[in-house]
Structure 1
Amino acid sequence: MSIFQSVYSQIAARKTFWQTDEFPQYHTNGKPHILEGRLSFFYNNEWKERQLVKLSKSSMYFSEASGVLVWLKIKWCLVTSFSEEKNSGDLYGFTLSLETNIKQDFYTENSEALDQWLSILSQVSIMTNIQQDYVIIKEIDSGKFGTVYLCQDINTHEEYAMKKILKKDLINAKYLNQIFNEIAILRKLDHKSIIKLYKVYEEKKYISLILEYIPYGNMLKRILKKKKLTEKQVMIFSRNLFEVLAYIHSKGIIHRDLKLENILMTSNTGNSEFKLADFGLACYIDKSLKSKSGSPGYMAPEILRGNTYSTKVDVFSAGIIIFILLTGTSPFVANTTQKIIEKNLKCRICFEGNECKSMSRHATSFIIEILTSEPTYRPTAQQVLKHPWIKYKSCSDSELASSSPYTSAGKLFGEVGGLIWDIKLEN
């Protein structure tokens, strides 16, 4: 049994391919189909000739003459295409497998119809014939959870990134869940600044993710070359970053691993447009969430303290990224990982160094607010977008001071009574 079939078996807890329902609206209401077409197949020992079948993002279904809905949950199903030579002509089709001994063959009207079904099924199920679809060009990256290759679609010649993961490395349930999580979340998200997952394949030894190929490297490599960006460049980048975070959080998802390495640049020269990547540690919002996930130096203090946390942990991590882009250095510099974590936990950020002197008072105010160690006082991504440093990025400092809805009684947006910061604000 494959890894995906094993997971499906646990979810489905059944031994039959199709399910029936006398109340079809329960499964079809609010779930618009993404494809419909004529398929031929056996059902209840009866040959269904050119049966109209519909496909949604979660189910394949058709209606019996009696009004009963026949449906199948296709998440994590394996899809294998085939062709057969017959005296009457060639036959084309695909097989859906729930488990090794629970599968169904479907025949399409022609090869073009097969290509259409496979194209849509690849967005919601797991494919198996990767060698028929892609050829590897070269290795472009490697890490703990697999190797990334540049590959090319055999038919269209378009280039993609192929992330190959050894299945033997997924024996640990924690790592296996991370892969399933990444797949499920990327399939749910659709945003111009989030890397796109096109297809997932399972082979004998590997699981392969076909991802959008971004050839211009990550933000870490970019900043190492440029040292630091202008404040205007960082303002525009920050707005884009918090817009995508607001989108992710609106879907009930926390990224939990925001860092320079996971921001892929979409231009060789521009510094504001990017694709957010690596959702392996992402999770859904849970009021009891306490697991310690993230990268040292970027983690919100509440995670390190073992407290429950929310989407605001992403706001903190984004603040670290922006601090680095503005100053060219991390706020938690140390010689060892352990010392970085200790500084990260204490969260005492110094703004008195020479690298911070060029920051405007509004940028300083902005950083103070989003890097507060207390999540109660830290804004959400949506609230951050209303900060004057971002909202009025085209205005001068004097215009900001007079027009900002966050300045009152001489207090900056980031000043919160009772909190102690190792900083010195501009007068």
Structure 2
Amino acid sequence: MLSIFSEADSDFDQRRPFWLPYNQVCLPIIHEGYLTEITEIGSKLNYYLLSSTCLLRLSQGSDFIETMAILKWKRVIPFTDNKELLKFGFKIGHSDNYKTFYVDNEEDLNRWIDKLSLVGIMDNIEKDYLIVNEIGRGSFATVFLAIDSTNGKKYAIKCFSKFELCNRKNGIKQLLTEIEIMRRLDHPNIVKLFKIYEDYDSVYLVLEYAEGGDLRKKLSICKRFSEADAIGLIQKLLKVVEYMRSLNIVHRDIKLENIFLVNSDSNNDFKLGDFGLASECENFLEGKCGSLGYVAPEILLGMKYSFNVDVFSVGVVFFSLIAGRIPFLGKTTNEIYNKNLNCNIQFNEKCWISINIQTICMIQNLTTKDPRLRSEAKHALRNQIFHKPQDESNYYSINLSPLSYLLTKTSNECHFVESQADHQFYLNELNIQVLYYSQLPQSTAITNSAIS
């Protein structure tokens, strides 16, 4: 089967030559050194710079960058040729459009390949990794535990069938988007993409491995998280959402199964993974996607939506950690759909009796049906539940501002306001009735009966 990356590379510009004029848009340099390039008229020794997207060629005898090659979807093939004077080298490109480079020795070759593997597409995954066993299976891919053949480190390898990608609507496009987004991400609580491989049948993503398993598995063992552990994890997760927003990225599938604990003993040291539904977002997105039970109502309604769909999913995770279950349960898909759409979350189970009212109100706010009333991640992070006082004995007796909370009669929801301007927005723009509380009673559940 043809390389899907070859097609992606040619689709970018079929007339594009390998070397292009330098346009000064490349990212920081990750490697540099001398290479002997094979040209149509012989060989030429030049100094090259490698960025996270491009290979840059300097003019001979100067520091002037002459040309650049975009490596985004190009294959990188190392080789050793014992018949030639120059033995160690690599090829970059596809089919009949390769460029060949040589280095002086095997050590130089290994250094170049180590860095090029972060930029291009590699082959021969069986040589580099030992597959141990299957650890996960989704709708579009299978995940395996693998060990690096050179250093014994563990990785998760996500395997996609090229046949299934080609036969699924937008399958290849979604994979390319997933790769592009993951290559941009660099955050301690996001699964890191290390390398990409392709062979005749499959595409492989070499990913950071989190040994603790996903949060759904963790909850099946521990049943519930303590309030403190849940708050600690959600604080980090909101920071991840805010980080993605700073890069104009929406995940669109935040759920227990996509949050992986670094080890089994940790309750909030995690990695967010599975960016198969992620998308770049300048203003608004359209199209239904996500996992039922975690999806923001505006997606289910077919409305245009933005970054706050991830905030809604974080709120569902928050509820689930404390309750030990997702808030929208049902015997049929249609029942779950309707509960998810209506967002009528109840806090009348015994586990909520000891939970701080501020925590309950935060969950209500994050899962508000109307996205205009839902806090952005950066605003939610300012809430005092994420900034406990040094004296934890005073945690439940903090004096609240008269505008700290709004309990709305019209929607049975709890919202946070941080300023008089926010207060006026609720009253004037949305025209809702509110009740003010300067201090709410401890451990009071926000339910329909609490707002009459």
Length-normalised TM-score, structure 1: 0.91
Matches within 5 A, 1:358-397: 358-392=354-388, 396=392
CA RMSD of superposed structures (Å): 2.1
- Matching residue of 1:101: 96
- The sequence identity of aligned pairs, in percent, is 33
**CA–CA distance in structure 2, aligned partners of residues 298 and 394 of structure 1:** 34
Judging changes above 3 Å, is the alpha-carbon distance between structure 1 residues 31 and 44 closer, same or farther for their aligned structure 2 residues? farther
1:49-73 Cα offsets, whole Å, 9 max, x none, are: 2x10111112112133596722211
Q: Match of 1:111? A: 106
Q: Does the residue aligned with 2:44 lie in a helix, a strand or coil?
A: strand
> What amino acid maps onto 2:137 in structure 1?
S
Match of 2:81 in 1: 84
What are the equivalent positions in structure 2 for 1:7-26 lying under 5 Å apart?
A: 7-19=8-20, 21=21, 24=22, 26=23
1:425 Cα offset (Å) = 5.4
Contact 1:200 1:208 (8 Å CA) reproduced: yes
Q: What one-letter code is carried by the residue in structure 2 that aligns with 1:305?
A: L
Q: 1:143 aligns with which of 111, 120, 138?
A: 138
The answer as to whether partners of 1:133 and 1:154 remain within 8 angstroms in 2 is yes
Q: Deviations over 1:320-358 (max 9, x none)?
A: 011011112322110112211111111111223334323
Of the three residues 45, 53, 63, the one matched with 2:58 is 63
Shift of 1:136: 1.2
Distance 1:393 1:12, change over 3 A: farther
Per-residue deviation at 1:87? 6.3
**Residue 71 of structure 1 aligns to which amino acid in structure 2?**
M
Taking structure 2 as the reference length, the TM-score comes to 0.86
How far, CA to CA, are the matches of 2:99 and 2:11 in structure 1? 19
* 1:198-238 deviation digits (Å, cap 9, x = unpaired): 11000000101111121221100111111111111111111
Alignment partner for residue 415 of structure 1, among 404, 407, 420? 407
Structure 1 pair 68–178 and aligned structure 2 pair: CA distance change class (3 A): closer
Residue 298 (structure 1) aligns with: 294
Q: Alpha-carbon deviation of 1:264?
A: 0.5
C-alpha separation between the residues in 2 aligned to 1:31 and 1:221? 39
Task: State how far apart, in whole Å, the 2-side matches of 1:395 and 1:340 are.
Answer: 42
Within a 5 Å distance, the mapping from 1:231-242 to structure 2 comes to 231-242=227-238
Q: Please say if residues 365 and 412 of structure 1, whose CA atoms lie closer than 8 Å, have aligned partners that are also in contact.
A: no
- Single out whichever of 293-302 and 136-145 deviates more from structure 2: 136-145
1:225 aligns with 2:217: no
Question: For the structure 1 residues 336 and 119, does the alpha-carbon distance in structure 2 shift closer, same or farther, using more than 3 Å as the test?
Answer: same
Cα distance in 1 for partners of 2:230, 2:272 equals 16
Question: How does 1:4-403 map onto structure 2 within 5 Å?
Answer: 4-19=5-20, 21=21, 24=22, 26-27=23-24, 31-43=27-39, 45-49=41-45, 51-65=46-60, 69-86=66-83, 88=85, 91-97=87-93, 99-171=94-166, 172-392=168-388, 396=392, 402=398
In structure 1, what residue type is equivalent to 2:227?
Answer: E
Structure 2: how far apart are the matches of 1:218 and 1:154? 26
Preserved CA contact (<8 Å) 2:214 2:256: yes
Q: Is the 1:367–1:414 Cα contact (8 Å) retained in structure 2? A: no
State the alpha-carbon separation in 1 of the partners of residues 27 and 220 from structure 2: 46
Describe the SS at the equivalent of 1:85: coil
Equivalent residue, structure 1, for 2:421: none
- Measured after TM superposition, the shift of residue 424 of structure 1 is 5.1
